Amino acid sequence: MVEDVTLSQIDDQTYLKNQQYRRADRLNARTSLHVRFGKQDRNWFRFLLDTIPMRGGEAVLDIGCGAGRFWLENWALLPRNIHILLADLSAGMVGDARAALVDDERFAFLEADAQSIPLKSGSMDGILANHMLYHVPDIHLAVREFRRILTPGGWLCTATNGAGHMKELHDFIGMHLPDSYPLAKGSERFTLENAMGYLSPVFETVEIHPFPNQLWVTETDALMEYLRSTWMMEAVPEEKMQKLENEIEGIIRSKGGFSISTLGGVILSR
């Protein structure tokens, strides 16, 4: 029996480690929807790589690395002379990343909490925190910890979503499952709109680089897999999920696809 899911689970580290991010399958379902059905010429992973000021020779920490998919997607474009430490709160995620990248000597692996990173002060030239800060219980503490381990002149690249992200899908869920927790609530703790309040007190310069996109989802199974992967939908009874699936299938059959506007972005701090 699935336990009741509450909004507090967005930053419940026990739940995140042992259920939501125990392994990479749920994260992969959400990521794949954006990669497969986005209309931008560049997908999110390439946009992120193009925005990060990584030129070679650096020591870079990827905190909340997941299964390392960002690095796998961009593997052929990475500098050869770089040292990348992949870290995640979830031992399962670190294991998946290690299995994928262990043969590449540029990568090392670490199980770590963003609020207390077991690294020396000034030991990293850059930090990537990709869609993970809204999961951290004390975001201010994590940002100060990032600053501590950066070298003078080092950079922090955080990524998150902005207002209106996946609005059409949120509205659709709200119409058909009004008693369920809205999908939009998950990342409101750290967004493109409020990120400056967390970062500007700690870093000298903060720049926001938005990444708007449009998804045209033509497969019901892919969209349902996305929905089933979210913590907000875990407590929805199966009969309601089946009705939702039928509604989505009807839209895709009649229109050819389900249109979803997205807004992600990178906040680059130095």
Domains of the chain as residue ranges with CATH: 10-163+185-213+262-269 (3.40.50.150)
The residue behind tokens 């990032």 is 146
Residue 242, C-beta contacts closer than 8 angstroms, at least 6 positions apart: none
In a structure prediction context, what are the per-residue pLDDT tens digits for the chain, which is 270 residues long? 233 334 568 888 999 998 899 989 999 999 999 999 999 999 999 999 999 999 899 999 999 999 999 999 999 999 999 999 999 999 999 999 999 999 999 999 999 999 999 999 999 999 999 999 999 999 999 999 999 999 999 999 999 999 999 999 999 998 998 876 555 466 689 999 999 999 999 999 999 999 999 999 999 999 999 999 988 788 889 999 999 999 999 999 999 999 999 999 999 999
pLDDT score, position 9: 82
Say if strands 150-161 and 107-111 run parallel, antiparallel, or are unpaired. Answer: unpaired
CA–CA distance, 19 with 200 (Å, rounded to integer)? 33
pLDDT score, position 5: 39
CA–CA distance, 215 with 44 (Å, rounded to integer)? 12
CA–CA distance, 74 with 71 (Å, rounded to integer)? 5
Q: How far is CA 46 from CA 67, 68, 75, 95, in A?
A: 17, 14, 11, 24
Given a contact cutoff of 8 angstroms between Cβ atoms, the answer to whether 267 and 207 are in contact is yes
CA–CA distance, 52 with 127 (Å, rounded to integer)? 10
pLDDT score, position 231: 83
- pTM, rounded to two decimals: 0.92
CA–CA distance, 160 with 192 (Å, rounded to integer)? 6
pLDDT score, position 234: 82
pLDDT score, position 8: 67
Given a contact cutoff of 8 angstroms between Cβ atoms, the answer to whether 125 and 150 are in contact is yes
pLDDT score, position 186: 61
Q: What strands, in cross-sheet order, belong to the sheet with 124-130?
A: 107-111, 83-88, 59-63, 124-130, 150-161, 258-269, 206-217
pLDDT score, position 197: 97
Q: Which DSSP symbol is given to 89?
A: S
As a whole number of Å, the end-to-end CA separation of the chain is 46
CA–CA distance, 187 with 128 (Å, rounded to integer)? 17
Backbone angles phi, psi at 177, to 5 degrees: -130, 65
If we measure between CA atoms, which residue out of 180, 58, 187 comes closest to residue 131? 187
SS3 of 165, please?
A: coil
